[in-house]
Amino acid sequence: MKIIIINGPNLNLLGKREPEVYGNMTFDTFFDELKKKYPSITLSYFQSNIEGELIDKIQEVGFSYDGIILNAAAYTHTSVGIGDAVKAIATPVIEVHISNTFSRETFRHQSFISPNAKGIIIGFGLKSYELALQSFL
């Protein structure tokens, strides 16, 4: 089974960025642990701060992978383009967020991904990614 985690802007700073919201662990450390825990899954990871690069990656994997776990970060709330890309592809997308976006500012309550996602997992810290992975198993 081929699954990819795609992370959007500023998620490269996990571990340093607002630890009270996003925790202390770097994504690389978390991802290494996840790969070890689920050796039967071919798991890959892509992060970009650039909207078009995220769309390119979604298109590239969106007809051949078994699943996409997408945290589009701030673009979740602004990007019609990423929402359209999720709608355009055949691979199911699980939208994830580390924080509970609904307990935060109202601009974080809107998502252009959710209407086209297979499911949504929000607010469980980095565990949100693992729960999304388990949903594909």
Site for ligand DQA in 2-41 (CB under 6 A): 10
Tell me which residues in 48-87 interact with ligand DQA (CB under 6 A): 71, 73-74, 76
User: CB under 6 A: which stretch of 26-34, 45-53, 80-88, 94-102 binds ligand DQA?
Assistant: 94-102
Report CA-CA distances (Å) from 123 to 9, 103, 116, 118: 18, 9, 19, 17
User: Among candidates 80, 81, 93, which has minimal Cα distance to 120?
Assistant: 93
Nearer to ligand DQA, 44 or 99 (CB): 99
Kindly state whether residue 117 participates in binding ligand DQA, applying the rule CB under 6 A: no
Separation of alpha carbons 57 and 46, rounded Å? 8
Q: Which of 65, 75, 77, 97 is catalytic?
A: 97
Query: How far is the CA of 19 from the CAs of 23, 32, 58, 59, 106, in angstroms?
Result: 4, 20, 28, 32, 21
Q: Does 99 bind ligand DQA (CB under 6 A)?
A: yes
| 97 is annotated as an active-site residue | yes
Task: Give the binding site for ligand DQA (CB under 6 A).
Answer: 10, 71, 73-74, 76, 97-99, 101, 108
